[in-house]
Structure 1
């Protein structure tokens, strides 16, 4: 008897379980991750802006501003229109930051154009003349402030000035020559008032790099003839806290509003960069958004630096 083997019936595979519908394009962004990415972009841009602004970029800005101020001061000296007091030759107040003198300290190899005013913003371009003191070469004590480390660090070497060193200052009244009396720190004896004689006090910060702890003074006596002093409209003490040593541009200066507006622009650019990252990809986004974020971060940091001590 022959047994016939019957093949088993074909098994039909079960249909796959229904899953989520396929979608085209990138997955939807999660708001929390987008905000976290934008916050990291903002933080990185601001930190890099501060580091660059107080070092490389700040020094380049200082060099550019000094060259521009030197050209302007030389032109005014040639025309005889350089300021010799608190007003210009056409009886207008000398504007903040306008060049008023050329300072030279041969032993330090220093040559800096001195601008009018001592706010943090004014001292980004170089040393500044305190507005409520006479100009160098005139009777009384003229005060010039400068930064210790940031924006060209023009006064970084003042602590090394030896007694008897020569300081030269050229203004619209000619060249005034001073002789250093000594370096003074808080608690040291203050020289007697200059009276009818001429004296120069250079001021900067002391302490570790970018962390000013106190004020350092260099006093110098005028050795050339005293020049006449025009009437002074800003009397001693008639300046705000922002122009004092280690002062910052705080309330009432408009600096906080500037910082806020630049920060808003940076945040908007960071959010746009996060969105572009999901649409374009990594390298396309950073090629496009990187320079914009860097520029805005530098702008925020530059505005915020005005809030820091002016002798930093």
Structure 2
């Protein structure tokens, strides 16, 4: 649309807004030939239509008087129509102002190039909305219908094709179908924004900072490990040791409470132990003494204990009193 065509459309819209109190058929009759007349006036000389014909509201009053229509009472319909015209005028001015930074005469010219991409995105958003409604609010990156991925993909293809078909024919739709499609598109945009906010909240919940919520693990024997000390076969503490799993990924345990490295300084390169001076056995470079253990195969046997007994005494016969006496028989 050229500048002259845009000016004519704005002028006609303001005239029709000023005649909004008339019946639609009567208003259409008065403004039927107005675009052609304005095009002739614009082609005759330079200058705007307002400069040559006056304000659109004054021109509408002249049309009203020439047709013998009752004067305007500025009813609610006229006020609403005038407000709509003012809003559209401001939007057009903003559209023209934002166009040059994008490399186009108007921003709408740039947005028209993005319409095919929006048609595809609109079909995807519609499929995701059905996914949320059919799965109870849970969803991922791919749509699902009733929890089934294959059915969701079929639905996605159908919705994208339908969205492209509607987008190519939206200009030929009547007023109410086009308005309904615009409302539905706006609802899909709101749904997309809500999904982005929800995904951001979930990502923030899973990636809390060190001072936020810490995930708990049940029955994990390594939760209370603060440092790792590695000893060689001779009992010497190994410093600057690093641990790796079978895939070559570093194993990180503990927390460098007394490490000379900063907390944010390449944590994957910090060696063990963090605190060598807190080694549980020995000191760095000195073998730790082996703990004393019983020798294998040697068992302790109890020693016999002496029992104190009363000393034997001699009686007058010369026989110890503690010994049995012989008895005579016969």
The structure whose residues are more often helix, as a share, is: 2
The structure whose residues are more often strand, as a share, is: 1
Structure with the bigger RCO (C-alpha within 8 Å, sep 6+) is 1
Please classify the TM superposition score into its range, dividing by the shorter chain length: under 0.3
Scaled by the length of structure 2, the TM-score of the pair is: 0.22
